[in-house]
Structure formats: C-alpha cells, structure tokens
C-alpha cells in the first residue's frame, strides 16, 4: 500500500510538502497531476522537478519532485486549504496516512540515529542542532562501540572512564531539546518583568507601576549565547495577604523549586531584608540580581554578591547573561564529542557503569549493545 507523509508543519507556512511512497507511486500521482505546458507525465524522469496543477489544468499549483520510482514529494502553497486538498485526494486513492515521526523511526535501524533525527526536528538553536548532528553522524555510537570493544579486550578501567565521561555530560544533553529554565523571584516591583523584557528584547511581561501586578506565571523562550533559555516571570513574594496573592506566591515557590537557575531580583535602592536572606537560604544556588542601580543614592548596606543591573535601560545585561549561561549550560563539550541526549541513553550508560562495579563487564557490554547499538555485544568470558 502507498503511504503519504506530511513533512511540513500543520500551521500556515510559505510551502507545504507531502511525500508519497510505495509501489506504483508514479502512476498514482500521475492520475492527479497535470504538468504545465506540453510536457507529458509519462516522459518525466527521476530527479526532475516539475511544475503543474493538481486534479485538473488550472487547478492547485504544485511542484513535483521525482525522487525515485516509488517516492515522490509534492510541494504546494503552505495554507491549510491547499495542503488538505492534496491530502484528501491521496487518501481517497487509498494512500495510508503516516506521521513524519513514525516515518523517521521506520527509516532508521540505528537507535541513536533514529532519536537524533527526532531531536533535531525540535532543536531551537544552531548550537543545539550542531551537537545533535554530531550524534547523528556517529559521535555517541562510536564512543559506545569503543567501550564495548574495550570490555571485549578486558580493559575495564578504560571502559569505566569513558562511561563516567558520558555520565558527566548527561545533564547537559538532557537540556539540549527542552532548554534551561530560569525562574525570577523577588519582592513585587523589584523589576522582574522589566528584566525579562530587557533580556528578550521586547515586552513579553506586562509591566505596571503598581507593585504586585504579576500574579500568574509568564514564560518566554529566548536564546542566550546560542543556548535555549526559558525565562519565567512569577508573582512577587511578600507577607501573606489575600488568597489570590497567596496562591500566586505558592506557585512562585513551586516554579523556583524545579528551576535550573533561580534569579533573586532585588531592588538595590532599598535595604536588603531578612526575608530576602530567607529566600536565598531556601534557594542556595540562586543568582542575586541587584536591580534598579540607577535609583541608588549613596545607600550603603550589606548585600550579598550578585550582578548589578538597570533593567529599564539594559545596563548590566551582558554580565547577567554570562552568569546565566555559566550556571546553567556550564562548559559545553567540544565539537564532535559524544553526548547522551535522552533519558533512555543515560539510563543504559548508568546501568552499564553499575554492572562494571559489580564486576560484570560482559553483561555491561551486552546491555550497551542491545540498548544503544541495536545488537548484543555477545562478549563471553572464560570462567
């Protein structure tokens, strides 16, 4: 049976692409496609790009890419109407609809290559994409195969070191697709929303002069130094008050508790408080941001180390961005290095490392082979 795979996003775009493949694909498409001018479909050859119309002369404009005798890509206008018209025609011709994720999975026998392709489709920045491309091209597979070979040669120490190196990169790899989550907390009117707007370069959070206007969680994704960062603006922390405000503060604490980094934003024109000390103890890895430096008038008081900013005019943002990346991304691996980037990959490596601790190198090799290479290592030791 022929199958049709939508390869473009479902939303509006400049172009949409449908892939049709299976036995008799050329004949199937030829029943619906009319090449422009005097060109006849039967005379078209593999590798050609052909402009024409769908269903009838003067119908929907499409470009056909003849990839192989059993594979054709159809490109049309990116609106939903055009895409759905073509899709309906192909489904009526008994094509089976297949989602692109399933198509990629079926087309990749190698387990690392398969998930790397899926991860690449979700990469938000070029730096993330380049690391995933390294894994797609075999960086992680080669390292795992090296470990299995070391175990086959009874070099357990070298294999263990390689596994530990991979595990040291697992947190970094786990954030490649989802990004790092940075939550801003602090008193109302400390400038959290203004700071997020300055980092984003546009007004995403609503900023009003009245303290306490943010009672819900607002999120926005940006890229800092090429890494995906989700910024989270939260309700201002304060003494208990009305129920709505208390609910907002509880939500703030929940968001901060699961953040990769907490920014404790403080109004530098006011005294540092014992309440802010308490928040710093609650989130000991928080980065303190001393905002509103332009309003400081000779105020001298005890303040912890942190970054000084003036959010309304973007002063101090370069230093702040540098600190955010240092505390979240850290030092990324060099180009071409192996990085586990899914939870299942990390789990397989961790299990193998545990098996080495239990002096079971053959079992460790077999586990790595089955989970990450798609085949058992088949290492047998003399007893």
CA distance 327 to 50: 52
Q: How many domains, in total, are found in the chain?
A: 3
Same domain, 181 and 70: no
Provide the residue-wise pLDDT of the chain in tens; the chain has 383 residues. 899 999 987 777 789 999 999 999 999 999 999 999 888 888 888 899 999 999 998 899 999 999 988 999 999 999 889 999 999 999 999 999 999 989 988 877 899 999 999 999 999 999 999 999 999 999 999 999 999 999 999 999 999 999 999 999 999 999 999 999 999 999 988 999 899 999 998 765 544 344 444 455 688 899 999 999 999 988 766 555 544 445 555 777 888 899 999 999 999 999 999 999 999 999 988 999 999 999 987 656 789 999 999 999 999 999 999 999 999 999 999 999 999 999 999 999 999 999 999 999 999 999 999 999 987 655 555 43
Same domain, 294 and 193: yes
Give the pLDDT of residue 380. Answer: 52
Same domain, 115 and 102: no
Same domain, 37 and 88: yes
The whole model's pTM is what? 0.82
Domain boundary among 86, 106, 126: 106
Give the pLDDT of residue 240. Answer: 52
CB 218 within 8 A of CB 297: no
382 part of a folded domain: no
Both tokens of 40, joined, read 């006849």
CA distance 45 to 65: 10
Domain boundary among 106, 130, 158: 106
Burial 204-235 (b: 16+ CB within 10 A, else e): bbebeeeeeebbeebebebebeebbbbbbbbb
Give the pLDDT of residue 249. Answer: 59
Same domain, 312 and 184: yes
- Burial label for 167, CB within 10 Å (0-12, 13-18, 19+), is middle
Domain of 48, CATH number, reads: 3.30.1360.120
Same domain, 312 and 189: yes
306 part of a folded domain: yes
Give the pLDDT of residue 203. Answer: 62
Domain boundary among 64, 81, 106: 106
202 Cβ contact partners less than 8 Å away, ≥ 6 residues apart: none
Give the pLDDT of residue 162. Answer: 98
Same domain, 203 and 284: yes
381 part of a folded domain: no
Same domain, 314 and 188: yes
Give the pLDDT of residue 212. Answer: 44
Domain of 217, CATH number, reads: 3.40.50.300
Neighbours of 83 (CB within 10 A): 24
Same domain, 17 and 129: no
CA 289 from chain centre, in angstroms, equals 27
Same domain, 344 and 237: no
**Containing domain of residue 358, as a range?**
111-169+335-373
383 part of a folded domain: no
Same domain, 289 and 256: yes
- Burial label for 302, CB within 10 Å (0-12, 13-18, 19+), is exposed
Same domain, 220 and 262: yes
49 φ/ψ sector (left φ>0, alpha ψ -120 to 50, else beta): beta
């Amino acid at each position: 049976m022929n199958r049709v795979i939508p390869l473009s996003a479902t939303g509006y775009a400049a172009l949409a692409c449908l892939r049709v493949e299976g036995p008799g694909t050329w004949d199937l498409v030829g029943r619906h496609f009319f090449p422009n001018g005097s060109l006849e479909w039967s005379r078209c050859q593999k590798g050609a790009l052909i402009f024409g119309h769908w269903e009838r002369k003067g119908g929907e404009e499409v470009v056909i890419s003849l990839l192989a005798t059993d594979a054709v890509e159809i490109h049309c206008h990116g609106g939903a109407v055009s895409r759905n018209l073509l899709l309906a025609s192909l489904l009526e011709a008994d094509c089976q609809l297949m989602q692109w994720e399933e198509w990629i999975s079926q087309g990749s026998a190698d387990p690392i290559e398969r998930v790397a392709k899926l991860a690449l489709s979700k990469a938000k920045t070029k730096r993330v994409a380049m690391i995933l491309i390294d894994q797609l091209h075999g960086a992680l597979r080669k390292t795992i195969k090296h470990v299995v070979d070391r175990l086959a040669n009874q070099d357990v120490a070298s294999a263990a070191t390689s596994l530990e190196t991979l595990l040291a990169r697992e947190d970094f790899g786990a954030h490649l697709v989802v990004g790092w989550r940075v939550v801003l907390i602090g008193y109302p009117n400390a400038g959290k929303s203004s700071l997020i707007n300055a980092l984003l370069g546009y007004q995403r959070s609503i900023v009003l002069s009245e303290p306490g206007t943010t009672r819900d969680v607002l999120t926005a994704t940006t890229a800092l130094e090429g890494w995906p960062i989700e910024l989270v603006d939260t309700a201002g922390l304060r003494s208990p008050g009305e129920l709505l405000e208390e609910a907002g503060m509880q939500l703030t604490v929940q968001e901060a508790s699961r953040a990769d980094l907490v920014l404790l934003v403080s109004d530098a024109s006011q005294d540092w408080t014992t309440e802010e000390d308490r928040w710093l103890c609650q989130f000991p890895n928080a980065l303190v941001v001393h905002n509103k430096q332009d309003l400081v008038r000779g105020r001298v008081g005890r303040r912890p180390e942190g970054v000084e900013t003036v959010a309304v005019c973007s002063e101090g943002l370069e230093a702040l961005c540098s600190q955010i990346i240092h505390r979240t991304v850290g030092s990324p691996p060099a180009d071409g290095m192996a990085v586990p980037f899914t939870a299942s990959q990390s789990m397989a490596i961790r299990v193998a490392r545990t098996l080495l601790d239990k002096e079971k190198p053959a079992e460790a090799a077999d586990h790595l082979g089955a989970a990450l290479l798609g085949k058992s290592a088949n290492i047998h030791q003399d007893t």
